Structure formats: structure tokens, C-alpha cells
Amino acid sequence: MAAARALATLLALAAAGSALADEPRLKPVRIVSRVRQEAPDPGAGVEALGQSAAPLSFDYEPLDWWSDWFNPIKPEAGKKQKTTIHVSNHGDTAVPKGTILSIWANRTTPAKCGETGDVDYKLPELLPFQTKAIKASWQMPDTPGEAQVRVFLDSACTVFSGSADYVQQSFTTTVVEAGSKYVYLQLAILNPGSLWRLLVVN
Ligand SMILES: *[C@@H]1O[C@H](CO)[C@@H](O)[C@H](O)[C@H]1NC(C)=O
């Protein structure tokens, strides 16, 4: 009986979820940067690296990043929003420490190489195929309204000259009045495992 009720609740949630799909403000805020060039043939990058005079310059983007959910999902005016950003090196060469990760709380236009963010994090060394988690936070504007949080990995472009195009991304969030209460409905993807867990809990 409890199980049947739980299932009915799930179905109701699923219906609510599909109705919400048209609501632009409720775009998922977990962002994944996956615009990537083709990696060159094995060996090509290594050869180019040997000839490079720059501190470290790949001829393809070796970095990638993704984030956890931004928290809170609708930040309050003048308060902080935070997340964990996972930075990954897919290249076959270590990326030395000091790569800069820049974040702007509200920037609508793309940033160029060398610009600094509202906050800038210096990353630790990243060995080939290593991923590191960076806890990041930034202060939202003092006024409510829409804001575009922008994340730019390798903003000094010391690792790759094209990082502004390949590992920079923004997402839209809504800054609410300080002290606002709101409900955010999130529908988990239902696979047999998660459905089973939900039924047990109920
Ligand atoms: C974010 O920046 C845009 C463009 O400058 C501006 O119109 C908007 O009001 C800003 N949003 C907030 C919440 O301050």
C-alpha cells in the first residue's frame, strides 16, 4: 500500500517535471564543458610540444571541467553561491601548478585570455588523466534579477591558446531578494535502482 502511494507520488512528480521542462528559469545548473577539438594523432602533440617555446602549449585542449550543482540554486542578493568544480587533464603531459580558473558572478560576454575573474583560483599540478576538485564560491550582485555565472578554465591561456573557446562556459541563474523562500523541484532520473530505493524509503 505504501509502495503504491509512493509510486503515485512519483508519477505525479514525473508529470510536474515534464510541465516544468518549458520553464526557462529552471534550466539545470550543473554544467559540463564538453566542447572539444579532436585530439591529434598519437605522437603529433608530443612532437609539437618539443618545439614549443611557451611554458606549456598543447596544440589541442587538454583540459576539461564540470561542476556539481550550484548552491544555493537561486542565490540571494549580495550573498555567496558555491560549487565544486572538477578539473581534468586529458593530455599526455602534466600541467604544472598555477593554471588559473576564473569565475564571474554575472558576466554576459565571453572573456578573453588574460582577463581576471571576480574570483581566480590557482590550480595544483594536474598529472595526465588526473582530476582535481576545486571548491569555489563567488559573491552575487546586490540586486535581484537574472545573472550569468561564467566559469573560464585556464583564463590566462598558459596551457592552451584556445581555452577561451573550449573551456569557458556560462549559465543563467536568478538572484533573489535576501531572505526569499522558494521551492525548487528537481526530478531525479529514474532507473530501476533509484526507483527501488525510493519505494523502500517510502
Ligand atoms: C547582470 O548583468 C547584466 C548585464 O550587465 C545586467 O543587465 C543585470 O542586471 C545583471 N544582473 C544582476 C542580478 O545584477
User: How much is the pLDDT for 176?
Assistant: 95
The gap from C-alpha 121 to its chain's centroid, in whole angstroms, comes to 14
Element (H, E) at 175: strand 168-175
Would you say residue 74 lies in a domain?
A: yes
Would you say residue 140 lies in a domain?
A: yes
Amino acid at 22: D
For residue 78, the number of C-alpha atoms closer than 13 Å in the C-beta half-sphere is 6
Rounded distance from Cα 145 to ligand 1 centre (Å): 7
Task: Categorize the per-residue pLDDT at 58 as very low, low, confident or very high, splitting at 50, 70 and 90.
Answer: confident
Q: CATH no. for residue 135?
A: 2.60.40.10
Contact 103/40 with Cβ under 8 angstroms? no
User: How much is the pLDDT for 174?
Assistant: 95
Would you say residue 47 lies in a domain?
A: no
Beta bridge partners of 145: 175
Report CA-CA distances (Å) from 97 to 16, 93, 112, 160: 46, 13, 21, 14
3-class secondary-structure state, position 133: strand
pLDDT digits (tens, 9 = 90+) for 123-151: 999 999 999 999 999 999 999 999 999 99
pLDDT digits (tens, 9 = 90+) for 79-96: 999 999 999 999 999 999
Q: Is the pLDDT confidence value at 54 over 60? A: no
Contact 92/128 with Cβ under 8 angstroms? yes
Would you say residue 3 lies in a domain?
A: no
DSSP 97-132: TT-EEEEESS--SPPPTT---SEEEEPPPB-TT-EE
Would you say residue 181 lies in a domain?
A: yes
Q: Is the pLDDT confidence value at 104 over 50? A: yes
For atom 11 of ligand 1, the residue with the nearest CA is 147
Least confident window among 36-45, 94-103, 107-116, 177-186: 36-45
pLDDT digits (tens, 9 = 90+) for 149-167: 999 999 999 999 999 999 9
The closest-lying atom of ligand 1 relative to the alpha carbon of residue 77 is 13
The closest-lying atom of ligand 1 relative to the alpha carbon of residue 175 is 13
DSSP state of 112: P
Tell me what percent of the residues of the chain surpass a pLDDT of 70. 63
Please give the average per-residue pLDDT across 105-111, as a whole number.
98
Q: Which domain holds residue 69?
A: 63-201
Would you say residue 171 lies in a domain?
A: yes
For atom 4 of ligand 1, the residue with the nearest CA is 108
Q: Is the dihedral of CA 51, 53, 55, 58 positive or negative?
A: negative
Rounded distance from Cα 117 to ligand 1 centre (Å): 16
Would you say residue 44 lies in a domain?
A: no
Would you say residue 137 lies in a domain?
A: yes
* Pocket lining for ligand 1, CB < 6 angstroms: 106, 108, 141, 143, 145-147, 175
Residue for grid cell 533573489: 176
Q: Quote the number of domains for the chain.
A: 1
pTM of the model: 0.69
